[in-house]
Amino acid sequence: MKILGIESSCDETGIAIYDTEAGLLADHLYSQVELHAEYGGVVPELASRDHVRKIVPLIQQTCADAELTLPDIDAVAYTAGPGLVGALLVGSCVGKSIAWALDKPAVEVHHMEGHLLAPLLEADKPSFPFLCLLVSGGHTLLVDVQALGQYQILGDTLDDAAGEAFDKTAKMLGLPYPGGRYIAELAEQGDDQRFKFPRPMMNRPGLDFSFSGLKTHTRVTWEQAREHCTTEAEVQQLKADIAASFQLAVIDTLSKKCLRGIKQTGHRQLVISGGVSANLSLRETLGQMGAKHRFKSFFPSLKYCTDNGAMIAVAGAMRFMHKDVPQDTLIKAHPRWSLEALS
Ligand code: KG4
Ligand code: ZN
């Protein structure tokens, strides 16, 4: 069975064709990062308009690469939420219209379920049940995954998401948006022991997260230490040391909460997904922690950590094969949509 996957929830247009027998046949991604760069964040109206421009040519290109035409597709999966309403509506309109024109089923996909299932695109994949850390620009969730669609949120962020904290810290240091990968690059030249930043919520029981205190602490440290720099080289070293100390605090917090979640649930598999899971230090730390505490970590390959169409296609395929997918002709978007509502 061949599924066309469409992702347009934020600033990436992602298209993929996934075959349940042969795996991923083709996928394309168009990132709007340059469009939004001068504003330091995503401008929703510009995002929607750019999805409108790019979505159909990308679908045509993906079909050509997979050496098939639209009538060869068995179902169309698209991100119906959560995300920016205008951006979601572009993917929903196109997805539903193609499905209707081909007289094939349309499958609404929850964006975070797409991230959660992205490691299933890999050769070495997890099996249900598992614990999942979803870390993106908008979410930081620890989820007990019992089966497809059976999700219990064990931990959530009380304020900023982990990716948001990376992005805001990057902006403060004058790095481009979205800043997670630039913080990670800068951190490689820095001393992560120079500053001991707080590990939020670690002294309290439970699995919730909070990153706004860390962000404020980082800002105050940066502003005070910058005053004492006398050369440009010192400023650059300070930036690298701040990036490294900040990154270590985030990774330490995320990984220790994962270990707590593993002990609480008894799962032996941990899935880490979403944009921040592209962070190599986080991957290394969780890999080492797993070796020590006898659990196995699964990550998507780097290109499928951030938003993409392949994860939507695979999630759509699983939903279609294992769940009832009601069909109607209404085009809907769910900008706010809890993962637990899928259960
Ligand atoms: O999953 P995603 O593409 O979009 C959302 O659904 O939010 O995640 C984007 C987030 C951004 O905050 C970005 O800075 C962060 O993922 N990110 C990283 C890295 N690569 C992307 N954060 C830390 N280290 C990275 N290497
Ligand atoms: Zn995402």
Q: What is the atom index within ligand 1 of the atom nearest the CA of 161? A: 12
Mean pLDDT value across residues 91-97: 98
pLDDT at 319 exceeding the cut of 90:
yes
CA of 138 to the centre of ligand 1 (A): 9
Mean pLDDT value across residues 93-97: 98
Instruction: Report which residue type is found at 177.
Output: Y
- Residue 102 CB neighbour total at 10 angstroms: 17
Question: Which ligand is closest to the CA of 279, given by its number?
Answer: 1
The rounded distance, in Å, linking the Cα atoms of 298 and 125 is 7
CA of 274 to the centre of ligand 1 (A): 7
Taking the CA atoms of the chain, what radius of gyration do you get in angstroms? 20
The residue written with tokens 């902006």 in the block is 171
Contacts of 212 (CB under 8 A, 6+ apart): 159, 160, 165
Residues of the chain with pLDDT > 90, as a percent, come to 95
Q: What is the atom index within ligand 1 of the atom nearest the CA of 83? A: 6
DSSP state of 81: E
The rounded distance, in Å, linking the Cα atoms of 20 and 167 is 36
Q: What is the atom index within ligand 1 of the atom nearest the CA of 306? A: 3
From 134, 306, 339, mutation site for ligand 1 pocket: most ligand atoms within 8 A of C-beta: 306
| HSE-up (13 A, CA, CB side) for residue 51 | 30
Q: Tell me: the pLDDT tens digits for 27-72?
A: 999 999 999 999 989 999 999 999 999 999 999 999 999 999 999 9
Question: Which ligand is closest to the CA of 175, given by its number?
Answer: 1
Q: How confident is the model at residue 324 (pLDDT cuts 50, 70, 90)?
A: confident
Residues with CB under 5 A from ligand 2 (ion): 136, 307
Cis peptide before 129 (omega within 30 of 0): yes
CATH code for the part of the protein at 127-299: 3.30.420.40
Collapse the DSSP code of 311 into the 3-class scheme (helix H, G, I; strand E, B; otherwise coil) and give the result. Answer: helix
Q: Tell me: the pLDDT tens digits for 8-19?
A: 999 999 999 999
Mean pLDDT value across residues 225-253: 98
CA of 205 to the centre of ligand 2 (A): 28
Query: Which pLDDT value is given to residue 331?
Result: 94
Query: Which pLDDT value is given to residue 40?
Result: 87
Burial of 295 (0-12, 13-18, 19+ CB in 10 A): buried
Lowest mean pLDDT among 17-31, 193-207, 230-244: 193-207
Strand ranges in 189-311 using DSSP code E only, listed in sequence order: 269-273, 296-298
pLDDT at 198 exceeding the cut of 90:
yes
Query: Which pLDDT value is given to residue 326?
Result: 86
Q: What is the atom index within ligand 1 of the atom nearest the CA of 12? A: 3
Q: How confident is the model at residue 218 (pLDDT cuts 50, 70, 90)?
A: very high
Mean pLDDT value across residues 236-241: 98
For the chain, what percentages of helix, strand and coil (3-state, to nearest 5) are there? 50, 20, 30
CATH code for the part of the protein at 2-117+304-341: 3.30.420.40
Q: For 196-201, which contacts have Cβ atoms below 8 Å and span 24 or more sequence positions?
A: 196/245, 197/221, 197/245, 197/246, 197/248, 197/249, 198/249, 199/249, 199/252, 199/253, 199/256, 200/253, 201/158, 201/253, 201/257
- 301 phi and psi angles, rounded to 5 deg: -65, 160
Query: Which pLDDT value is given to residue 310?
Result: 98
Q: Do domains 2-117+304-341 and 127-299 have the same CATH topology?
A: yes
Q: What's the pTM? A: 0.96
The rounded distance, in Å, linking the Cα atoms of 44 and 303 is 24
Query: What is the domain partition of the chain in residue ranges?
Result: 2-117+304-341, 127-299
Q: Tell me: the pLDDT tens digits for 262-286?
A: 999 999 999 999 999 999 999 999 9
Query: Which pLDDT value is given to residue 223?
Result: 98
When the pLDDT of each residue in the chain is averaged and rounded to a whole number, the result is 97
Q: How confident is the model at residue 148 (pLDDT cuts 50, 70, 90)?
A: very high
Taken as a whole, the chain contains a residue count of 343
